[in-house]
């Protein structure tokens, strides 16, 4: 072991020295080649360690007899893509007395039978796939060595990280934005991915505005009740709602209205984007000056809940543009239905300190799911949507992780010890011999010399 590890380390050092000394190279050229040399060295050392584990298992005949494992075949090669490149090693195939066969080395290393990608590389691929395509994720993480299909498989084996524990606090107001991203499925049908954003209002930093302590929640395939139950659980874990005023911003969709059954005392606020969109739909096609006048009067009537005046304005606009009557009436009906969600912004100024539904959906979901023409499977969306919302990815836990038998733990410990000694270049204590005392010899040194 010591010879192998030392040889790998010496070859690495020689390559780096040769790289620096041969010809005139820029620092960037040296950096790139040195990085590849370091990865190659690490891959060889990892393969050597795996073979060391295999040797320790094979040498422990008593332990294998206790486990009921006998050698069936030797020297089977395995190649595994890792963060440092491809790792190759050979291991022994064992037959179990209870039936079946097993690579005990792979069991010790925690590598599943059909895995071709390591756990660390899988996590990096899934994390990169949150922000870029499968092909770009492969190129960014592994230099294109992993197929797009494999990257998708890693995403489906991942999940959003669990929420970190936080101290419960009280806040005077809490804003909840609810909206959805529209995506296309593999069968050509359209679907929606909901997003709930919870924050403590908008704060300013110079000319920029930020949502304070924002938290995103997104799930695909869940019912509105299940989604709002999860949102309420996360909110109550962070906030004491006894003296908190809650504003729920959205476009008034049915699944958003379900939130009032779960969020106690929430006040609905119609999202300004959808309010302005409906008003523009009513006044579109009018002359510029007439459009401004009607726009101003419509907003006044809605802010003061003067529906009689609003109806008169609607009739007047329809008379001027009878060809657009259906669209005008549709937009007017939408605004009347949520007039209380509009007027609250006039009567309660704190209601204006939120309402970022469209930017949240754009930045959290749409940038990845629908920013470019693409299609998704329901299976992938169930995994990816929560990861986009939380921003953190972990690999799914195995169904059951059994402790290693004592002989395998012993073999792993022995291999680690031998590998550590070889890597550190530690000589055997008996080979050190007596160390000469040079220079001026004083009394203390003479006494020490008698015992060495």
pLDDT digits (tens, 9 = 90+) for 148-207: 999 999 999 999 988 777 888 999 999 999 999 999 999 999 999 999 999 999 998 888
pLDDT tops 70 at residue 427 = no
Lowest mean pLDDT among 23-27, 191-195, 253-257, 320-324: 23-27
pLDDT attached to residue 441: 57
- What contacts 241, CB < 8 A, 6 or more positions away? 174, 235, 264
- What separation in angstroms does the CA of 203 have from each of 209, 211, 213, 302, 390? 6, 6, 10, 27, 21
pLDDT attached to residue 371: 81
Residues 156-187 as b/e (b if ≥16 CB within 10 A, e otherwise) read bebbbeeeeeeeeeebeebbbbbbbbebeeee
- Cβ proximity of 388 and 160 under 8 Å: no
- Cβ proximity of 279 and 295 under 8 Å: yes
Q: What is the mean pLDDT of the chain?
A: 88
Q: What is the pLDDT of residues 398-425, one digit of tens each?
A: 655 568 888 888 888 888 887 777 666 5
- Cβ proximity of 92 and 408 under 8 Å: no
Contacts of 345-349 with CB under 8 Å at 24 or more apart are: 345/269, 345/303, 346/303, 346/304, 348/267
- Cα–Cα distance measured from residue 331 to residue 436, given in angstroms and rounded to the nearest whole number: 97
Joined together, the tokens standing for residue 35 give: 């990085």
- Cα–Cα distance measured from residue 204 to residue 282, given in angstroms and rounded to the nearest whole number: 33
User: What is the DSSP-derived secondary structure letter of residue 351?
Assistant: G
Give the residue ranges of DSSP H helices in 130-271: 134-142, 148-156, 224-238, 254-257
pLDDT attached to residue 148: 94
Q: What is the mean pLDDT of residues 47-58?
A: 92
pLDDT attached to residue 424: 62
pLDDT tops 50 at residue 61 = yes
Answer yes or no: pTM beyond 0.75: yes
pLDDT attached to residue 40: 92
- What contacts 370, CB < 8 A, 6 or more positions away? 181, 182, 183, 184
pLDDT tops 60 at residue 277 = yes
**Per-residue confidence band for 5, with pLDDT thresholds at 50, 70 and 90:** confident
**Per-residue confidence band for 451, with pLDDT thresholds at 50, 70 and 90:** very low
pLDDT tops 50 at residue 382 = yes
């Amino acid at each position: 072991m010591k010879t192998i590890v030392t040889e790998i380390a010496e070859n690495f050092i020689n390559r780096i020295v040769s790289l620096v000394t041969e010809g005139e190279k820029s620092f960037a050229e040296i950096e790139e080649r040195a990085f590849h040399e370091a990865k190659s060295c690490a891959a060889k050392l990892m393969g050597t360690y795996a073979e060391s584990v295999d040797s320790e298992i094979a040498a422990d005949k008593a332990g294998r007899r206790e486990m009921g494992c006998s050698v069936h075949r030797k020297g089977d090669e395995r190649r595994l893509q890792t963060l440092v490149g491809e790792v190759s090693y050979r291991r022994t195939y064992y037959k179990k007395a209870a039936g079946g066969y097993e690579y005990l080395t792979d069991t010790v290393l925690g590598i599943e039978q059909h895995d071709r990608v390591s756990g660390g590389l899988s996590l990096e691929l899934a994390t990169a796939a949150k922000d870029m395509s499968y092909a770009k994720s492969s190129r960014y993480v592994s230099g294109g060595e992993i197929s797009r299909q494999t990257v998708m498989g890693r995403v489906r084996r991942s999940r959003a990280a669990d929420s970190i524990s936080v101290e419960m606090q009280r806040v005077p107001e809490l804003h909840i934005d609810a909206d959805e991203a529209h995506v296309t499925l593999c069968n050509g049908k359209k679907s929606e991915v909901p997003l709930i954003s919870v924050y403590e209002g908008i704060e300013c930093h110079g000319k920029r505005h930020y949502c304070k302590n924002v938290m995103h929640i997104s799930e695909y395939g869940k019912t509105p009740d299940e989604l709002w139950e999860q949102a309420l659980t996360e909110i109550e874990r962070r906030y004491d709602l006894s003296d908190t005023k809650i504003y729920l911003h959205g476009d008034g969709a049915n699944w958003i209205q379900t939130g009032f059954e779960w969020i106690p005392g929430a006040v609905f606020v119609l999202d300004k984007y959808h309010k302005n969109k409906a008003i523009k739909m009513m006044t579109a096609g009018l002359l510029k000056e007439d459009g401004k006048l009607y726009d101003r009067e419509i907003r006044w009537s809605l802010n003061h809940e003067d529906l009689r005046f609003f109806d008169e304005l609607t009739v007047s606009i329809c008379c001027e543009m009878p060809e657009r009557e259906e669209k005008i009436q549709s937009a007017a009906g939408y605004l009347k239905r949520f007039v209380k969600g509009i007027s609250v912004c006039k009567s309660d100024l704190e209601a204006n300190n939120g309402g970022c539904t469209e930017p949240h959906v754009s930045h959290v979901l749409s940038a990845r799911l629908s920013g470019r023409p693409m299609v998704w499977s329901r299976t992938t969306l169930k995994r990816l949507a929560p990861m986009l919302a939380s921003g953190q990815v972990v690999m799914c836990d195995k169904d059951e992780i059994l402790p290693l038998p004592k002989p395998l733990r012993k073999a792993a410990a022995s291999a680690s010890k031998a590998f550590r000694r070889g890597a550190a270049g530690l000589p055997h204590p008996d080979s050190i011999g007596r160390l000469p005392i040079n220079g001026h010899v004083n009394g203390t040194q003479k006494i020490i010399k008698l015992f060495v």
